[in-house]
């Protein structure tokens, strides 16, 4: 069964958005909305924890890229953490690994914001 | 096992149904996780293209998904009566520009090309009632080097 869940928490000055399940054309709008809400609230230091995300299609890539652009334009960033190998392959095929910062775990991504 | 098929209007509201069908196909054919993942990705990209572009500007018509085994591959066929679009005409995906300029346009077809063993397309003939037909062949054997 397809499932999707989001949860958000603060880690110091960084906001960690944990994404679980399937990010596809059906669920990606909810991800985009949640990330947009963070940016709109002035929280530009973002980490997406993808440890429990088993699937990301181009609909999800679009949501992440839009947020990367907005966060960086505001002086922050969106980093991606703990990406599963099968999902990482999609980011790689899409050429995202050259423009988005990836980290093995959430702590490393949070620490990167200094 | 006979071919599996579903026909529904190509609307955003039916996306979940079409994607659920692909999961059902992967499950019924006992696909390994890696090949099931590839199958889901390529069919999702193809279905969303029909939903978002095929019937743009008019009432959505039907999309039929069919799936069958053919030797070492699962073959999924999409049939619709919307605007014809040959994937060979898709612009190349933007994989190189920096983050400011980066667009995700064309990424769907790029993923389809990368993750299928073969893609075939035949434009339909509205006068004859013949649908556009996109055929996606996804190998059942896991691909190496995916980590």
**Minimal-distance CA residue of chain A relative to B142:** A86
Give how far A5 is from chain B: nearest CA, Å: 16
Q: In degrees, to the nearest 5, what angle opens at C-alpha A12 toward C-alphas A6 and A15?
A: 25
**Minimal-distance CA residue of chain A relative to B16:** A26
Q: Per-residue pLDDT for A1 more than 80?
A: no
Joined tokens for residue A82: 């703990």
From chain B, which residues contact A within 8 Å (Cβ)?
A: 15-16, 19-20, 23, 33-34, 37, 40-41, 44-45, 47-48, 51, 93-96, 98-100, 102, 104, 107-108, 110-111, 114-115, 146-147
Q: Per-residue pLDDT for B145 more than 80?
A: no
Q: For all residues of chain B together, what is the average pLDDT? A: 92
For the segment B142-147, the average pLDDT, to the nearest whole number, is 58
For the segment A22-34, the average pLDDT, to the nearest whole number, is 96
Show the 3-state SS of B73-95. Answer: EEEEEEEECCCCCCHHHCCCCCC
For the segment B19-26, the average pLDDT, to the nearest whole number, is 95
Q: How far apart are CA B131 and CA B82, in angstroms?
A: 8
From chain A, which residues contact B within 8 Å (Cβ)?
A: 1-2, 24-26, 55, 57-59, 61-62, 65, 68-69, 72, 85-86, 88-90, 93-95, 98-100
Cβ contact B16–A62 (<8 Å): no
Read off the pLDDT band of B147 (50, 70, 90). very low
* CB neighbour list of residue B102: distance below 8 Å, 6 or more residues apart: A65, A69, A95, A99, B94
Q: Per-residue pLDDT for B46 more than 50?
A: yes
Contacts of residue A100 in chain B, CB cutoff 8 Å?
A: 99
For B146, other C-beta atoms within 10 Å of its C-beta total 13
For B70, other C-beta atoms within 10 Å of its C-beta total 9
- Give pLDDT, residue B40: 96
Question: For residue range A61-91, what is the model confidence (pLDDT) as tens digits?
Answer: 999 999 999 999 999 999 999 999 999 999 9
For the segment B64-71, the average pLDDT, to the nearest whole number, is 96
- Give pLDDT, residue A8: 97
DSSP state of B58: S
Question: For residue range A34-56, what is the model confidence (pLDDT) as tens digits?
Answer: 999 999 999 999 999 999 999 99
High-pLDDT (> 90) share of chain A, %: 97
Q: What is the CA radius of gyration of chain B?
A: 15
DSSP state of B52: I
Q: Per-residue pLDDT for A19 more than 90?
A: yes
- Give pLDDT, residue B3: 86
Q: Which ipTM value was assigned to this complex?
A: 0.91
- Give pLDDT, residue A56: 97
- Best of A57, A74, A83 to substitute, by most chain B Cβ atoms within 10 angstroms, is A57
Size of interface A-B (CB pairs under 8 A): 75
For the segment B101-126, the average pLDDT, to the nearest whole number, is 92
Joined tokens for residue B136: 């996606």
Cβ contact B19–A24 (<8 Å): yes
- Give pLDDT, residue B2: 80
Whole-structure pTM value:
0.93
Q: Which of A57, A89, A95 sits opposite B45 (nearest CB)?
A: A57
The enclosing H or E element of A33 equals: helix A28-40
For the segment A97-109, the average pLDDT, to the nearest whole number, is 97
- Give pLDDT, residue B144: 64
Q: In degrees, to the nearest 5, what angle opens at C-alpha B63 toward C-alphas B70 and B13?
A: 125
The enclosing H or E element of B16 equals: helix B15-28
């Amino acid at each position: 069964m397809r499932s999707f869940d989001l949860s958000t928490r603060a880690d110091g000055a960084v906001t960690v958005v944990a994404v679980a399940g399937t990010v596809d054309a059906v669920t990606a709008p909810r991800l985009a909305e949640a990330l947009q809400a963070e940016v709109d609230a002035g929280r530009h230091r973002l980490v997406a924890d993808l440890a429990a995300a088993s699937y990301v299609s181009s609909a999800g890539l679009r949501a992440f890229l839009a947020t990367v652009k907005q966060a960086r334009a505001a002086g922050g960033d969106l980093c991606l953490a703990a990406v599963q190998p099968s999902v990482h392959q999609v980011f790689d095929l899409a050429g995202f690994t050259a423009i988005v910062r990836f980290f093995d775990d959430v702590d490393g991504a949070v620490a990167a914001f200094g | 096992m006979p071919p599996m098929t579903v026909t529904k209007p190509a609307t955003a509201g039916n996306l979940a149904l079409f994607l659920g069908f692909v999961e059902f196909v992967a499950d019924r054919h006992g696909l390994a996780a890696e090949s099931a993942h590839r199958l889901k990705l390529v069919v999702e990209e193809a279905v969303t293209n029909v939903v978002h572009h095929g019937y743009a500007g008019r009432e959505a018509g039907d999309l039929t998904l069919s799936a069958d085994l053919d030797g070492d591959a699962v073959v999924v066929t999409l049939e619709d009566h919307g605007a014809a679009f040959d994937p060979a005409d898709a612009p190349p995906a933007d994989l190189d520009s920096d983050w400011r300029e980066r667009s995700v346009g064309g990424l769907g077809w790029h993923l389809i090309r990368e993750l299928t063993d073969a893609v075939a397309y035949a434009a339909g003939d509205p006068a004859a009632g013949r649908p556009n037909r996109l055929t996606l062949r996804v190998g059942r054997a896991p691909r190496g080097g995916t980590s």
